Amino acid sequence: MASQQLPFDVFDATAPASPVVLSVPHAGRDYPAAMQTALRVPLHLLTALEDRHVDTLALAARRHEATIVQRRARAWIDLNRSEQERDPAIDAGVSAKTAPAPSAKLRGGLGLIPRRTGAIGEIWRRKLTGEEVDARIAHDHRPYHATLAGMLAAAQARFGVAVLLDVHSMPSLGVAGAQMVIGDRFGRTAPARMTARIETEAAAAGVSVTLNTPYPGGYIIERQADPARGIFAIQLEFDRALYLDDALDQPGGGLDATVALLRRIIAALADEASPRQSAVAAE
């Protein structure tokens, strides 16, 4: 049953049936009223920031894997950014003089609170107060990460290994671009045998794939992975054209095939996390 008290839904977290844990942080379509009054652009344009309906994809592919899905929109707060990635251009609670050196994402307006996108420009018509941003961190960001950490700990305690699959979607990368990108922070968050299994499943489905280019994985997998303790993490980006309609707005004719691919990837990762595979890899 899904939780209704927090801004995310949690499924099958109390007694994990698989070492694989699914996270869907960017598919939220809930735009709080407090946010809407501060916007300088029409609300419908913010769908450009969504991983549009990738929650539909993930929930259709899961069986009994523990899963967490954010309901609030990414434009409200980005769970795949550190709490320190606060943008002084839009956040009155942080000073450009005292803030850490900005990341490339933050410089581009895609920090903890997204400020702009290339498609629609500036999002907000006023600066947010420090208290507003602090509240979003306290009510959305920290609970999501704490809940996800607990889900991974439960899976690791039961199976000896946990594998986080952080599911995202991306714009098409062009004619020569891959249709799926695997991110493992350049080998830091998961062993090569796991990413190789994903590549094998994608190739069998006729889906082109790259590793860490242009998306090596973000804050979620970097924070949650702990390979020394047997907790691994992989970010997976699907080209939206694989599963959405021609307008890239609603689930389309390719959804079933993409669901089947994700299901096979989940099963492959569970197999790689089995004691038999772990023992073989250690030899």
pLDDT the model gives residue 279: 46
pLDDT for the residue 4: 47
Res 275 pLDDT > 90: no
Tens-place pLDDT, residues 14-60: 889 999 999 999 999 999 998 999 999 999 999 999 999 999 999 99
The verdict on residue 59 lying in a domain is yes
Among residues 239, 245, 282, 283, the alpha carbon closest in space to that of 261 is found at 239
Q: For residues 260 and 218, what is the distance between their CA atoms, to the nearest angstrom?
A: 25
CATH number of the domain that residue 209 is part of: 3.40.630.40
The residue among 171, 263, 178, 242 whose CA lies nearest residue 212 is 178
Q: Answer whether residue 194 shows pLDDT above 90.
A: yes
Residue 132: pLDDT band by 50, 70, 90 thresholds? very high
Q: Are 10 and 71 in contact (CB under 8 A)?
A: no
For residue 218, tell me if it sits in a domain: yes
Q: Which H or E run contains 146?
A: helix 142-159
| Percent of the chain topping pLDDT 70 | 96
Instruction: Check pLDDT > 70 for residue 280.
Output: no
Residue 90 lies in a domain: no
Residue 244 CA to residue 276 CA, distance in Å, equals 38
pLDDT confidence of residue 171: 95
- What pTM value is reported for the model? 0.93
Please report whether residue 270 resides in a domain. yes
pLDDT in the model for residue 278: 53
Q: Per residue in 204-235, pLDDT tens?
A: 999 999 999 999 999 999 999 999 999 999 99
Structural element, H or E, at residue 107:
helix 104-107
Tokens for 53, please give them: 């309906």
**What's the pLDDT score for residue 100?**
72
Please tell me what DSSP assigns to residue 141: I
The maximal CA–CA distance of the chain, rounded, in angstroms, is: 59
| Side-chain half-sphere exposure of 270, counting CA atoms within 13 A | 19
Structure tokens at 139: 């009510």
Check if the beta carbon of residue 217 is closer than 8 Å to that of residue 166.
yes
- Which residue from 112, 7, 57 is spatially nearest to 257, judged by alpha carbons? 57
Give the residues across from 214 on adjacent strands. Answer: none
Asked, for residue 31, whether it belongs to a domain, the answer is yes
Are 134 and 112 a contacting pair, CB within 8 Å? no
The encoded tokens of residue 167 equal 């599911």
Kindly state the tokens that stand for 240. Answer: 């939206």
Q: Specify which residues 225 forms β-bridges with.
A: none
> Is residue 174 very low, low, confident or very high in pLDDT (cuts 50, 70, 90)?
confident
Q: 2-6, 82-86, 250-254, 258-262: lowest mean pLDDT where? A: 2-6
Rg (CA), the chain: 18
pLDDT at 281: 53
Task: Please count the structural domains in the chain.
Answer: 1
Residue 102 placed within a domain: no
Q: Give pLDDT tens digits for 87-127.
A: 999 999 998 777 778 888 898 999 999 999 877 899 999 99
Report d(CA 85, CA 224) in Å as an integer: 17
Exposure string of 241-250, with b = 16+ CB inside 10 Å and e = fewer, is bbbbeeebee
Residues spanned by the domain of 143: 8-83+125-282
111 near 27, Cβ under 8 Å?
Answer: no
In a domain, 38, yes or no: yes
Backbone dihedral angles phi then psi of residue 239, each to the nearest 5 degrees:
-60, 125
Give domain status of residue 139, yes or no.
yes
Assess contact for 224 and 164: CB atoms under 8 A. yes
Share the mean pLDDT of the chain: 93
Answer for the pair 4, 34: CB distance below 8 angstroms, yes or no.
Answer: no
According to DSSP, residue 167 is labeled: E
